[in-house]
Amino acid sequence: MSIKREKFIRLTLTYLVILVMFAIILYPLAWIVGSSFNPGQSLSGSSIIPKNATLAHYKELFDLNQSAYLHWYWNSLKVSVATMLLTVILVSFTAYSFSRYRFVGRKNGLLTFLVLQMIPNFAALIAIFILAMMTKLIDTHLGLILVYAGGQIPMNTWLMKGYLDTIPKELDESAKMDGAGHLRIFFQIVMPLATPIISVVALFSFIAPFADFIIASILLRTEKKYTLAVGLYDMVAKQFGAEFTTFAAGAVLIAVPIAILFLSFQRYFVSGLTAGGTKG
């Protein structure tokens, strides 16, 4: 009886912790969503369940005569998708090289990546700004994409390399015996098996620039080139702006592409649980 009681207490405590954590995470999100439907621009009278719900703030965001929100949204999508594609390509080749080949400087290269991933991008803001000025990439989306992609390489290389190490090298050797070259092994054997980790890298490299404010605010100068984070901040920071409920509506819409991408990649995350299990 005491064992059953102990199990019951443990289970109850576990569910209580989960509920508390769920409430901590859900409450701010629910409050933002509720605020986006509240009339007026002040948050003082906002509530999770608005009394006089309105879609006026969402309509204002999509009105090009009142807001540049659609421009910011397109800029963020463009920068994030380009960063995701460039990061996946660079990280795939880099991680494959470190995982499958032994060359001079390999250990030092991995150690350098390990050190670099401990340094956040914003710690090098002055260097990034000066470099962007020297290369004339200030106020350009190309400059943002290159900075974001470069910052994603160290961490994601370690992440993908660890996964590629679990894929049996016997597959590579069998393919070589059948006459396959390095590129064919990479594209037709290793990369299909690495789809789960590629999906993870793609998701991370999309989310980071989509939600970033610091680097974008340093490099971008023109309002029509703003990304969402910079544009929304400018909306509430400018004099006599303080459009907080409109800001809340814009913040809610940020989650849409991230949620769609996550749901699209979800089946690859699940398949990753059994990937690499061919070694006997």
Residue 270's pLDDT is 63
How confident is the model over 145-186, as pLDDT tens digits? 999 999 899 989 998 998 999 888 888 888 888 888 888 888
- The model's pTM: 0.84
Q: C-alpha dihedral over 163, 271, 86, 234, to 10 degrees?
A: -110
Q: Per-residue pLDDT for 276 more than 70?
A: no
How far apart, in whole angstroms, are the C-alpha atoms of residue 203 and residue 85? 10
At the topology level of CATH, where does 67-237 sit? MetI-like fold (1.10.3720)
Say if residue 10 is exposed, middle or buried (CB neighbours under 10 Å; 0-12, 13-18, 19+). Answer: exposed
Per-residue pLDDT reduced to its tens digit, 56-69: 888 888 888 878 89
Among 80, 66, 76, 81, CA closest to 253: 76
What pLDDT does 85 receive? 96
d(CA 27, CA 38): 16
Is residue 237's pLDDT more than 70? yes
Q: Where are the domains of the chain?
A: 2-58, 67-237
Predicted local distance difference test score (pLDDT) of residue 73? 94
